[in-house]
Structure 1
Amino acid sequence: MKTEQLQMQDLEAAMQMSEYAFRYEIPKEKRAERLKQMDQYQQLYGIKENGKLAAKLHMLPLAIRLGEQTIPMGGIAGVATYPEYRRNGYIKQLLSDTLYLMREQGMLVSMLHPFYVDFYRRFGYELFADRTIYTLKKKDLVRMAPVDGTIERVKKEEHSQLIEDMYTTYAATYSGMLARESSWWQQRFYGDHDFIAIYRDASGKAQGYMIYETSSRDKLEVSEFVALTADARIGLWNFLAQHDSMFEEITLDLPHHDPLIFMLPDPQLALKSYPYFMARILDVPAFFEKYDWQQSPAGVVLHVEDKIIEENNDTFSFKDESTAISSETKGISLSINMLSAIAFGYKRPLTLWQAGLIDGPEEMVRKFEQSIPNREAYFYDFF
């Protein structure tokens, strides 16, 4: 059983496996372009049996934002096998080998969208971001006091660097947001019927945008809502509320801690909130060398358990924000899963300690708690 990087001649077989496993079909006129993108932007790994592709996954070399820091990330997608090859350990081998391959390429974290959370927890992944979708009816579209700004409505074909720059500024306020390149916007982000509403303040400076779809007669769907200022939030909302005569329902994809819903006269909206993406640290010392601590973690010692990446299965101590392998016996014991959830800000050390999910001296746990930035985790993208 050998993991190998798939070549151009293997990509059609990989695409057919995805179609079978995920039950969709790529139209003939789009197949060549899809193969080209797979070859250009992804690394595919697979296991063959008697020369035939038996299992495969796609690795996307990407990057994420942890506040102001940009961290190289390997995205995992398209994990699949045919039914006749299941339960042979192929997927386990593929994932384990690919984690090491990403680490060797300098990627500090890996992320994926799970089909089943517990399955990927076995490989060190842990939830790091939730998704919250609000559903609004006509009665909820109450305009706020107007602000001194304007809305510019453009089509997705008019996408510009201006939108990318606003997203980059917004992403820096979170943990885990994708560091989108222009090619990602153009090929992977927009839907077929998307519009963009850009808010400009009184001086003409763009301070926010909203991406939304109007293909349904009765429903408007907001897939991304980015406000860099209070006025931008109000201006975008008032534009959204102006659609009250056009749609019976509006869905809004919004971080749960964004104050917009709180600002409404009646914030008791129908909502769907669910765990969304998972992440795991690939290289503990290298990751924390780039980490932007809230305050120095000096004196914190971590006994990390990683069942896949042996180099992470060690004791690490922090001294003046540097990380080193240590022989200390007193420290916080935790899995790579829990460490990843903490580092992204999804769960706080003290919360996990009180739940019995990490173990160690309370004083050190509190020191670790104070060192982790108070920054929310969120992820708008999908792969």
Structure 2
Amino acid sequence: MEIKLIPPKDYLQVHRLRDYCFPNKYVGEKRDDFQYWIEQSTTIGAYDGDKVVGQLLILPLNMTVHGKNFDMGGIGFVATYPEYRQQGIIKKLMLEALREMRQNGQYISVLAPFSVSFYRYFGWELFSEKLHYSIPHAMFPNVGKQLDVVKRMSFEWPDELLFQTIQDFHNCQALVTNGSMLRDEAWWKRIERRAPDSLFAAYFHADKIAGYIRYIIPDGTFIIHDFIAEDILAEQAIWRFITSHATSVHTIEGFTANDHHFGFQFQEPQFKREIHMDAMVRIVDAFAFMQRYPWGEIHEPLYVCLEDAFCTWNECVYRINKDGHVSVIEANSIMDKHMLALPINLFSAMMVGYLSVKDALIYAKKDAIKEVVELWQKAIPNNRPVFYEYF
């Protein structure tokens, strides 16, 4: 079994393997979109002779961590033919993917797991909680009456100036929203190919965009895919626009961050909610990641010892000075109780703000003195992440 980058002459085999292993066969625009990402990604294959029998794509994406944007490897379309399973092919693909991401400067990685335990084994960890909601007509929010400035467009009937304004606004908000992804032209094109019936509504305040939604309205259900507002006034204006459809829709559906206190201000907030944990994160190169990390307050040098069975380059003891400078030190130069000792999955979830330092240690069944835990907690910005994109 040979693991290597898949050349263009074998891209048709990538389509065949994806179509066999995933529920819906890609046709039309979705097939074109998949072809684009095969070409743009680091596309790795497992070969039996000339046949691609396993594959993995590393999409060249990005992710904002506490205000700092990182190149991110998005792992997707992991598949093997059933007759080749239970042979360690996926493990070989994952190991090669980790090496490729490190080499390409993708020091952090995100994926949507088919099995959490499977990807935890390789060092990824849950880090995002999305609250999916369904609001029946009788519970539609009433946020008062006001004449708002709202501009609309769709992919079918585009407004180029408005669309560019929406894209710029989205990325400005993504830079200040922990866990968000900047969308470039290619990603918006992907959205258009996969959701060509999308509608847009943008709210303007003082001649500047202050929020927007992307949505569809199939069979009387108002389904929200993007809902981004810079403040509570913009959020209320967008809700006024949504509920102005009350005569023609019976349900509003969407999702938001689980820590958003969603619906608190509604008169009837007791509608259906479900929490989905469908994204996992992994730090690929801990040293490079920590060098760029936007540290908070560091009052004394910090120390951490990482365990990483699949990225041996991460298995070091690190010292972080008060100025944020990171170095590798000898393991016996610091007492165990004065440093954190964590596996890479829990360290990753902690550094992006999903787990507190104390919780990471509890789940790792490790210990550290109280003062060390407090120092680390001050050094990690206190913003829980949420990742909304899907690939």
Normalised TM-score (structure 1): 0.94
Q: Which residue of 2 aligns with 1:69?
A: 68
Counterparts of residues 1-383 of structure 1 (less than 5 Å): 1-27=1-27, 29-30=28-29, 33-34=32-33, 36-147=35-146, 149-156=148-155, 157-158=158-159, 160-188=163-191, 191-201=195-205, 203-214=206-217, 216-296=218-298, 298-320=300-322, 321-327=324-330, 328-330=334-336, 331-355=339-363, 357-383=365-391
> 1:357 Cα deviation (Å)?
4.1
Q: 2:38–2:57: 8 Å Cα contact kept in structure 1?
A: no
Residue 148 and residue 256 in structure 1: after superposition, are their counterparts in 2 closer, same or farther (change >3 A)? farther
Identity %: 25
Residue 313 and residue 192 in structure 1: after superposition, are their counterparts in 2 closer, same or farther (change >3 A)? same
Name structure 1 gaps, 5 residues minimum: none
Q: 2:285–2:314: 8 Å Cα contact kept in structure 1?
A: yes
Residue 62 and residue 249 in structure 1: after superposition, are their counterparts in 2 closer, same or farther (change >3 A)? same
> 1:149 Cα deviation (Å)?
3.3
Residue 73 and residue 312 in structure 1: after superposition, are their counterparts in 2 closer, same or farther (change >3 A)? same
Q: 1:303–1:334: 8 Å Cα contact kept in structure 2?
A: yes
Residue 94 and residue 169 in structure 1: after superposition, are their counterparts in 2 closer, same or farther (change >3 A)? same
> 1:369 Cα deviation (Å)?
1.0
Tell me which moved more, 149-158 or 7-16: 149-158
Partner SS for 1:263: coil
Aligned residue identity for 1:2: E
> 1:147 Cα deviation (Å)?
4.9
Tell me which moved more, 78-87 or 349-358: 349-358
Q: 1:297–1:368: 8 Å Cα contact kept in structure 2?
A: no
Residue 238 and residue 137 in structure 1: after superposition, are their counterparts in 2 closer, same or farther (change >3 A)? same
Aligned-CA RMSD value: 1.8
Q: 1:303–1:314: 8 Å Cα contact kept in structure 2?
A: yes
CA distance in 1, matches of 2:123, 2:299: 23
For residues 315-374 of structure 1, what are the alpha-carbon distances to aligned partners after superposition, in whole Å with 9 as ceiling and x for unaligned?
111112111112224311110001100111111112233455443222111111111111
CA distance in 2, matches of 1:242, 1:9: 52
Partner SS for 1:129: coil
Aligned residue identity for 1:364: V
Partner SS for 2:257: coil
CA distance in 1, matches of 2:361, 2:109: 25
Name structure 2 gaps, 5 residues minimum: none
Residue 329 and residue 147 in structure 1: after superposition, are their counterparts in 2 closer, same or farther (change >3 A)? farther
Aligned residue identity for 1:210: I
Q: 2:67–2:178: 8 Å Cα contact kept in structure 1?
A: no
Q: 1:304–1:336: 8 Å Cα contact kept in structure 2?
A: yes
CA distance in 2, matches of 1:124, 1:32: 31
CA distance in 1, matches of 2:171, 2:384: 16
Number of equivalent positions: 380
Q: 2:55–2:77: 8 Å Cα contact kept in structure 1?
A: yes
Partner SS for 2:310: coil
CA distance in 2, matches of 1:96, 1:301: 27
Q: Which of structure 1's runs of 4+ aligned residues deviate more than 6 A?
A: none
For residues 251-273 of structure 1, what are the alpha-carbon distances to aligned partners after superposition, in whole Å with 9 as ceiling and x for unaligned?
02111233451110121120111
CA distance in 2, matches of 1:123, 1:168: 31
Residue 30 and residue 174 in structure 1: after superposition, are their counterparts in 2 closer, same or farther (change >3 A)? closer
For residues 225-276 of structure 1, what are the alpha-carbon distances to aligned partners after superposition, in whole Å with 9 as ceiling and x for unaligned?
1010221101001111112111111102111233451110121120111211
For residues 154-191 of structure 1, what are the alpha-carbon distances to aligned partners after superposition, in whole Å with 9 as ceiling and x for unaligned?
11333622111211222123222112111111223661
Normalised TM-score (structure 2): 0.92
> 1:42 Cα deviation (Å)?
1.6
Residue 197 and residue 34 in structure 1: after superposition, are their counterparts in 2 closer, same or farther (change >3 A)? closer
